[in-house]
């Protein structure tokens, strides 16, 4: 009886392995480009693969670490990645061949899937005399790494206030180095574009009094009229230690994009699985608690993948 049972078990196991192999053969292995291994993009990519892979029939996600937004778009164009997370402003530059992609030209090998969460423009200062963007004139200001999306955000926001880099002392620093320089009084303010709260600013607020330079409605509208990928955002009071009032600013959005070579069915299934399992995704990373249908299509000025558009249409949301 034991031999028979063992034989039956072995046969069942073999059959299950054949079925699994067959299923795997029909599923596309999609490479998801993210960012550095210590960053949010990489972390949320891992959660997506863990939660969604058991639910997907058309594809399976494999997460890879990359150089983030610009590199991700280039990787999709080269065929090194199939999906990626990028800032929506950077994907706009790629699609139009402007700003960060002016030298490269326009890319049309990717399409939008969903806006995931806000990456908020935070202008941080420890100088009480800086109350508005206009007060940055004549100050030493970190505008992010040279050639980064943050640097372009800084240029655009200053321009909305009729200022340019000629009106400030430009310093190119990472978020961590900006925090250290603010702490030491080496700079007067810093542009930080990231989900709030941002670790570098949290750390700074424990040792120095910080404030967030707000944007007013008039200048937000002026900015949005020129760059529609910005959305108005409120950073809630107490996001950072000592900041006891809400602060109005703008955000770009971390956005999932897909190669135009991926099938409609695969992207439709992936999009549907994300929204139908967002609680499970949020349990893995709190950024997914911000995922919702209405915000998923805001601030996106490039075409949506047909698979994503099909899902949104079923939910009563029409996209291009």
- Per the CB < 8 A criterion, the answer to whether 228 and 219 are in contact is no
Residue 149 clears pLDDT 90, i.e. is over it: no
User: So what's the pLDDT on residue 32?
Assistant: 98
Cα angle: 294, vertex 74, 147; to 5 degrees: 85
Residue 292 CA: distances (Å) to CA of 56, 82, 117, 275, 312:
20, 23, 9, 7, 11
The counts of H helices and E strands in the chain are 12, 10
Q: What pTM does this model have? A: 0.80
Among 148-152, 175-179, 256-260, 277-281, the least confident range: 148-152
As a dihedral over the C-alpha atoms of residue 308, residue 309, residue 312, residue 318, rounded to 10 degrees, the angle is 160
Domains along the sequence of the chain with CATH: 28-117+253-314 (3.40.190.10), 120-249 (3.40.190.10)
Residue 11 clears pLDDT 60, i.e. is over it: no
In DSSP terms, which residues pair with 254 in a beta bridge?
87, 117
Taking alpha carbons only, the member of 274, 276, 284, 278 closest to residue 305 is 274
Element (H, E) at 112: strand 110-125
């Amino acid at each position: 009886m034991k031999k028979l049972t063992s034989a039956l078990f072995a046969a069942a196991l073999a059959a299950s392995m054949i079925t699994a192999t067959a299923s795997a053969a029909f599923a596309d292995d999609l490479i998801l480009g993210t960012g550095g291994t210590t960053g949010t993009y990489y972390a949320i990519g891992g959660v997506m693969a863990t939660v969604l892979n058991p639910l997907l029939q058309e594809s399976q996600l494999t997460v890879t670490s990359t150089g983030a937004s610009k590199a991700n778009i280039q990787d999709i164009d080269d065929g090194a990645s199939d999906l990626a997370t990028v800032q929506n402003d950077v994907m706009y530059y790629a699609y139009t061949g402007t700003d960060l992609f002016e030298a490269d030209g326009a890319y049309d090998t990717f399409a939008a899937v969903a806006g995931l969460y806000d990456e908020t423009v935070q202008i941080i200062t420890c100088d009480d005399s800086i109350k508005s963007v206009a007060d940055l004139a004549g100050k030493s200001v970190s505008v992010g790494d040279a050639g980064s999306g943050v640097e372009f955000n800084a240029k655009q926001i200053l321009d909305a206030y009729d200022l340019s880099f000629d009106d400030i002392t430009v310093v190119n620093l990472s978020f961590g180095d900006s925090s250290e320089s603010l702490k030491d009084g080496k700079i007067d303010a810093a542009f930080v574009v990231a989900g709030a709260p941002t670790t570098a600013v949290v750390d700074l607020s424990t040792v120095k009094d910080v404030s967030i330079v707000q944007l007013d409605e008039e200048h937000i509208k002026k900015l949005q009229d020129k760059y529609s990928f910005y959305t108005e955002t409120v950073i809630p009071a107490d996001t950072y230690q000592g900041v006891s009032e809400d602060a109005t600013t703008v955000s770009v959005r971390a956005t999932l994009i897909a190669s135009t070579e991926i099938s409609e069915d695969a992207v439709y299934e992936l999009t549907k699985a994300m929204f139908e399992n967002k609680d499970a995704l949020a349990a893995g990373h709190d950024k997914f608690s911000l995922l919702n249908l209405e915000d998923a299509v805001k601030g996106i000025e490039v075409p949506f993948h047909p698979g994503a558009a099909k899902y949104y249409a079923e939910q009563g949301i029409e996209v291009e």
